[in-house]
Structure 1
Amino acid sequence: MPADPTSDARPRRRPATGALAWGSGLAIFLFVPFFAPTIALTAIGLLMAAVGRRQRDKNEVAAENGRNAANWGLTLVVVSLGLVAMSYGGGLFPLGLILSLLGGVAVAHIVVCVMGVLRAGDRRAFRPPAIPFYN
């Protein structure tokens, strides 16, 4: 039986959920093997902020997930650069402690991004603890 030529044969697109903003944070797996962890975390944080802000013209869930991902990305930048600044602070903090905290931040970032992708896939907003740069 041939398809009806008058029907709309284009596939329907799913509404945006903001999962792209959270998924962009998982690009850290591309950068870490080639760059220092601080540079990778900073680059990923800025990427998340840029992609997250691009979601604001989509639907309400995508806009909220994009805003939350952008806030998380910028919080990641502030924390990772703060840890690097502490390592140059005249030996107040041992370098091993700083590197351990930086590794912990990277692991927490991956967990938060996976949780964000999963929540966004369910069309729900995910709000991690982050500095509210964008309201």
Structure 2
Amino acid sequence: MSQADVALYEAKGRGRNRLVSYESLQENAGGDDRDLYVRHFENVTRVLTERMTTLVTNMGRSLVEAARREANQDALTQLHNRRYFDARLSREVETAHKHGRALAIALVDLDHFHDVNAGFGYPSGDRCCAASPRSPATACA
């Protein structure tokens, strides 16, 4: 098994679709097993380093994307917030100008929403704000 392991990591070190036999490695090493196992150590170290780099990079990317999403969305409603609006507005104005298109902006303000919170409690107000667009009436009932 150790010979197969040495050949496997040598093949990985050489790149994709490479066939390496332990016997050919021994011939190239001139019968010096010590050099062969040093090379095996280097190959294993290289493969593990590449895998760890990929893993850390992917985890970091996921964390940055999650932080960006959280910074641009309201936690309760999952709607984009003012920070997102400000960043996106300039891009949309530029795109509309570039293509010669009109741009419409709609803002929604809930008048007297404080009365819902005061009359029914903040948990009920939160349920109304977090209601799905498919069933808003059931959330506020």
> Which structure is richer in relative contact order (CA contacts within 8 A, separation 6 or more)?
1
For the criterion TM > 0.5, the same-fold answer is: no
Q: TM-score, normalised by structure 1?
A: 0.32
When Rg is computed on C-alpha atoms for both structures, the one with the higher figure is 2
Q: TM-score, normalised by structure 2?
A: 0.31
